[in-house]
Structure 1
């Protein structure tokens, strides 16, 4: 009976010692948070393991995450996956649909990214447009008009220059045949008669002013259809057109004239753009918005993935994932770290404490046997 009591007593004592030892060991992982000193000597095991090695732990965790978990290769593979591309495309389409649904204007869109479209347009628009036009003039001022115009436009003008004769003669004939033309001829005759005095007075003895005006009108109308007159008009138009094409830009407009045109044009363009910027984009460019929703969203998603993949290495270096994790862990309170680890490993820590009690009990059992037989 005495032997059984000794064994049980040793088991209980061993279990208590083993369990408490493990509890203290686990506790010493986190506590104390700071070192303690007796005189000038630091008390052993202060601070606790995790407070003492927090910076080293943070460095190792950052290294493990960067080198083995969130690696560049893994992120690149995830980025190129069909699921990621679909997510990016879906996000783009949602923003485009919002553009249509909310009837957003260009000014509203730019204001969402903290850009004052009106201010940017007025501050930089006029100056930029005028500057570009003046640079163009400086670069091309010695070139001929024909060399500056698009080839298709020059070919079109060359082909249709002969039609100008028909158009001009038809317009002249219509004008001369109109009431306005008749009135203008009569007015010019009155002025002519008043200037010539007696000589015209003698002429009026044989013909009335109305008959003279009618005769002049008929001759002018006939002249518009006369082949010789049309040939002369064609020759004049062709010569003037050729002269215009061969004239250098600076002979047509000097620098001051071109600068004035550039300034007026820049003001007109910016004013027009400002008015249009208040209208919904879907109203201004419905086909373009349809194209964005239908095709560009997919192309844009592919482009984003492609560019991110190309520049991923640079982005990873700029982000410095390891340094970011180290910095974040080092900012955590030790109480929070303790709570976090216990929440994660609570079951395992309890098993360790239980194992301490069990091992202590087993050791106590054998110690009891030794005490009895020895």
Structure 2
């Protein structure tokens, strides 16, 4: 009876363990389904998948738990160090912006696209700027510091203008030009001009006029006159509209010149140069300043939007779907690989309990006889 009880207990527990997974599918005799088929887990797979999905989202991958992980100093340090290594690899590689953009983003002509986009953007902005500025007065357009600089520079410009004038009229070219002007003036006066020429005799009128012009230019009154004139003209210019100034200054040409300057100074040549040739000057800044800030900013953003992200990811449905697609055979192998020893002990325990029950029954029979 002990042997029979032990055999029954062991076999019963072993069958019960097997019935957790097997049979994998329901067994039918004609239209009648054999009881206890399929096994417990295959039969309850949908419910199991649903409960596992709820378990993962409610107790395992919770927003609070993930948020604590993201905000932990250890995680931030590890992510920063990892990103530093990856950035360093790129900065010291032979890759170029062109090759990286082609490999990662499928962009084959990034350089041309960038130049085209910059040119297009500058064209749009220049048209918008000119359209906005034309109705305005010059004084409302120019910066205050530029206005002050112009006003402060008028005396110096006047002094330079006078010095240049004196120097010019002291040169042979200046004297010759002045002489031609005097001759044209006298010839245009007819008899009066001839009388002046006869009165001077062999002396040239220009020899008398030139020193007087130099003296006039050296006079403080001349300097003050020219300075006042330039200030008045500057004030008059500031009161003018930009569209009026455009009659004398080709703003379109100026804008075109500025566009060309911008395009020439955009470092598009970096697109075809290996990273290690031009990133050395930026490496420390990128690694020590921008990378930690980037990791912190991304971590903070993800942490703030974590609840929304988890809702959008629909982890419960993902887990449920994955479990439903999971092979029962593979699941059985996984469980047995972890708990085979425990299942054997359960089988042995059933045999022991069955043997003890058989022993107890045998003792009762002996007493009854």
* Same topology, TM > 0.5: yes
Partner of 1:6: none
Write the distance in 1 (CA, Å) between the matches of 2:178 and 2:89: 68
CA separation of 1:328/1:164 partners in 2, compared to 1, >3 Å: closer, same or farther? same
Shift of 1:29: 1.2
Partner of 2:7: 16
Write the distance in 1 (CA, Å) between the matches of 2:251 and 2:58: 63
CA contact (8 A) 1:134 1:259 kept: no
Partner of 1:313: 307
TM-score of the pair, normalised by structure 1:
0.80
Is the aligned partner of 1:357 residue 2:351?
yes
Shift of 1:263: 5.2
Partner of 1:63: 54
CA contact (8 A) 2:92 2:276 kept: no
Is the aligned partner of 1:336 residue 2:330?
yes
- Which of residues 305, 320, 325 in structure 2 aligns to 1:326? 320
- Which of residues 33, 41, 51 in structure 1 aligns to 2:32? 41
Partner of 1:229: 222
Write the distance in 2 (CA, Å) between the matches of 1:333 and 1:349: 21
- Which of residues 339, 342, 358 in structure 2 aligns to 1:348? 342
CA contact (8 A) 2:21 2:39 kept: yes
- Which of residues 125, 128, 134 in structure 2 aligns to 1:135? 128
* Alpha-carbon RMSD: 3.7
Write the distance in 2 (CA, Å) between the matches of 1:48 and 1:189: 123
Write the distance in 2 (CA, Å) between the matches of 1:109 and 1:137: 38
Equivalent position SS for 1:35: coil
CA contact (8 A) 1:16 1:357 kept: yes
Write the distance in 2 (CA, Å) between the matches of 1:13 and 1:53: 34
Write the distance in 2 (CA, Å) between the matches of 1:228 and 1:280: 65
Partner of 2:294: 300
Write the distance in 1 (CA, Å) between the matches of 2:157 and 2:235: 14
Shift of 1:268: 4.4
Write the distance in 2 (CA, Å) between the matches of 1:182 and 1:102: 66
CA separation of 1:299/1:41 partners in 2, compared to 1, >3 Å: closer, same or farther? same
Is the aligned partner of 1:164 residue 2:154?
no
Q: Deviations over 1:148-195 (max 9, x none)?
A: 222222222222232221222233344555xxx534653675698699
Equivalenced residue count is 358
CA contact (8 A) 1:182 1:217 kept: no
- Which of residues 171, 176, 179 in structure 2 aligns to 1:186? 176
CA contact (8 A) 1:118 1:274 kept: no
Equivalent position SS for 2:37: coil
Shift of 1:67: 0.9
CA separation of 1:345/1:142 partners in 2, compared to 1, >3 Å: closer, same or farther? same
Partner of 1:3: none
Write the distance in 1 (CA, Å) between the matches of 2:158 and 2:144: 23
CA contact (8 A) 1:63 1:322 kept: yes
CA separation of 1:262/1:101 partners in 2, compared to 1, >3 Å: closer, same or farther? same
Shift of 1:73: 0.7
Write the distance in 1 (CA, Å) between the matches of 2:277 and 2:76: 30
Shift of 1:247: 2.1
TM-score of the pair, normalised by structure 2:
0.81
Q: Deviations over 1:194-213 (max 9, x none)?
A: 9959979x6797147xx95x
Partner of 1:7: none
- Which of residues 111, 115, 119 in structure 2 aligns to 1:122? 115
Write the distance in 1 (CA, Å) between the matches of 2:169 and 2:91: 56
Once the two structures are overlaid, the 10-residue window that deviates more, 19-28 or 221-230, is 221-230
Equivalent position SS for 1:143: coil
Q: Structure 2: 5+ residue runs without aligned partners?
A: none
Equivalent position SS for 1:33: coil
Equivalent position SS for 2:319: helix
- Which of residues 181, 202, 209 in structure 2 aligns to 1:206? 202
Write the distance in 2 (CA, Å) between the matches of 1:30 and 1:53: 10
Write the distance in 2 (CA, Å) between the matches of 1:286 and 1:157: 42
Write the distance in 2 (CA, Å) between the matches of 1:369 and 1:306: 73
